[in-house]
Amino acid sequence: SNIITLEGDYTKVFPEWTFAVRGGVTFVEPVGRSLPSGSIHVTTKPERDTVLNLTLSREARPSFFLQGGARINNSVRASIRHRVYERLSVSGSGGYSLSQFFPNTDSQFQIITGGSRVEYMLTRNIRGEFFYIFTHINSDTTALEYQVSRHQVGFMLSVMLESLGESLGFD
C-alpha cells in the first residue's frame, strides 16, 4: 500500500511554553480512502529545572505485521523531566495508543507504555542511567487475540563522543 500525506504545521514559542500543531489529510492507496491526520505538541517549563511535554497525534503508517495495508495510530503521550541538581535528573513518561488496521477497522490493538529514568553525569562526557520501561499490548483482531506485558529494567553508560572529539581535536 502507498500512504501519501499532505500536512501543514504551525509553531508558537512563548517564554515558558512551546505549542506546535500539525494537520492535514492522508490518502491510502490502493483502498482509495483518505483520513485526517496531525498532532498537537505542548511543552512547558513550570519552573526552571522541570520540563513537561504532552503530545496528541493521529497518523497512518504501513502495517508490517498481523495484516497488510495501513495502520491508523491514535496516541497520547506525556512526560516530565526534573533536574534535581546539576548532575542528577529524573524523568517519567506514559502513553496510550489505539491502532486500527485500514481498511478493516474491526481489527485493533492497544499499547500502554510507561517508563522512569534516573540519570547522573559521572563526568562531563559520561552519563550513567538506571531505567524501567513497562509495555502492555492488547490485540483484538478477527484472527488472533492476545495480551503481552513486558517489564524492562536496565543500567546504561553513555559516552558523548561529540564533546570528547572536540576535546581530543578530532574532526
Cβ atoms of residues 60 and 38 within 8 Å: no
Average model confidence (pLDDT) across the chain: 86
Give the mean pLDDT of 122-135: 93
Cβ atoms of residues 111 and 136 within 8 Å: yes
Using the predicted structure, report yes or no on whether residue 53 has a pLDDT greater than 70: yes
Give the mean pLDDT of 73-94: 95
pLDDT band at 113 (very low <50, low <70, confident <90, very high): very high
Distances (CA, A) of 34 to 39, 53, 101: 17, 29, 14
Neighbours of 46 (CB within 10 A): 10
Give the mean pLDDT of 96-125: 87
pTM of the model: 0.79
